Amino acid sequence: MIDLHTHTTASDGTDRPNELVANAAAAGLDVLAVTDHDTTGGWDEAIAARPGGLTLVLGAEFSCAYTDPDGHRISLHLLGYLFDPDHEGLRAERARLRVSRLGRGRAIVDNLIVDGVPVTWNRVVEIAGGGAVGRPHIARVLVENGVVTSVDEAFAELLSSRSKYYVPKADSDIFDALRLVREAGGVTVFAHPLARRRGAVVDDDVIAVLAQSGLAGIEVDHPDHAPDDRAHLARMAADLGLVGTGSSDYHGTNKTIALGACTTGREAYEQLFSQPTAREPVTG
Ligand code: AMP
Ligand code: FE
Ligand code: FE
Ligand code: ZN
């Protein structure tokens, strides 16, 4: 079982990296990728705690945007795997994205407070515990304070990208991100391209352009993809020479999805990592 997209407390997951690798082994995974939002902060602890027999693929999920010809920005997530964490350009970009998450999280909280919603920035920062701050951390404060009964409910309205409280965060232009991750020796996969619930998604022709710009794969099987979208993405992957992956996008108790809920085939895994990369999966 191969799961190529998971989160820890280094961003908006709830398992510490050492807990994630233990839970992955217990769930029967053979290969686990750690892909926190805009950070490699969970890598070292995951490496140190890796149970024997579990192959660890180090990565990150980059906050990106595609700007269409009319100037509309569509936010999208790019998974980068096995890149050099010390590549200066990519490291600086991760830092820029994380700093922006702070100001933007605070702005969302301020918007909520103006409307009398009980939430404090201090508590959000406390819950984030030094990890890259995201809306799930705000959601948990809203649950704590009885504003909503679940993180899901918080995302349905108050924290939705369509909410009046929403503030966008900084993101990398998708073409810059593709270039940077490749320069840093990494492999790229477009995360949940058709997760429509989260907001606007890109058209097929954009995926085709990304495929010509160095993209190596697309997530086909993802909990946020409807069955017909998965079929469509599998056909697109085949047509465009992209590797089709499957992943849970596990976030611990911030979501109800289990490790290994969606998985990547062995052949796809081998194809994805057949090119030389700055790092190797940690095995043994
Ligand atoms: P942000 O990165 O701050 O824009 O917040 C988006 C993050 O929230 C994404 O990483 C999603 O994984 C997560 N997310 C989106 N919808 C939900 C939801 N309904 N429940 C929990 N987490 C969610
Ligand atoms: Fe997340
Ligand atoms: Fe994502
Ligand atoms: Zn994710």
Residue whose CA is at the smallest distance from ligand 1 atom 18: 152
Backbone φ, ψ for residue 221 (5° rounding):
-90, 110
Q: Counting atoms of ligand 1 from 1, which one is nearest the CA of 161?
A: 4
Nearest listed ligand to the Cα of residue 250: 4
Residue nearest to atom 23 of ligand 1 (CA): 136
pLDDT at 135 (0 to 100): 98
Token pair belonging to 60: 């990150």
Residues 6 or more apart in contact with residue 231 via CB below 8 angstroms: none
Ligand 1 centre to CA of 161 (Å) is 10
Q: Of all protein residues, whose CA lies closest to atom 20 belonging to ligand 1?
A: 152
Does the Cβ of 7 fall within 6 Å of ligand 1? Answer: no
User: What pLDDT is attached to residue 255?
Assistant: 87
Residue 123 confidence (pLDDT) = 98
Tell whether ligand 1 has an atom less than 6 A from the beta carbon of residue 155: yes
Which residues lie at CB < 5 A from ion ligand 3? 77, 191
Give the per-residue pLDDT at 159: 98
Nearest atom in ligand 1 to 63's CA: 2
Closest ligand to C-alpha of residue 6 is 4
**CB of 62 sitting under 6 A from ligand 1:** no
Is residue 152 lining ligand 1, measured as CB closer than 6 Å?
yes
Contact yes or no for 132/36 (Cβ under 8 A):
yes
CA distances (Å), origin 265, targets 1, 10, 49, 249:
8, 27, 25, 16
Burial 99-138 (b: 16+ CB within 10 A, else e): ebbbebbbbbbebbeeeebebebebbbebbeebbbbbbbb
Q: What is the pLDDT of residue 2?
A: 98
Helix H or strand E encompassing 35: strand 31-37
- Evaluate whether 99 touches 211 at the Cβ level (below 8 Å): no
Of ligand 1's atoms, which has the minimum distance to the CA of residue 156? 19
Distances (CA, A) of 226 to 76, 204, 222, 239, 250: 18, 16, 9, 20, 17
**Residue 61 alpha carbon, nearest atom of ligand 1:** 10
Residues of the chain with pLDDT under 70: none
pLDDT at 83: 98
pLDDT reported for residue 126: 98
- Is the Cβ atom of 192 under 6 angstroms away from ligand 1? no
* 144: number of Cβ within 10 Å: 12
Kindly state if the Cβ of 134 falls inside 6 Å of ligand 1: yes
Mapped onto helix, strand or coil, the DSSP state of residue 238 is helix
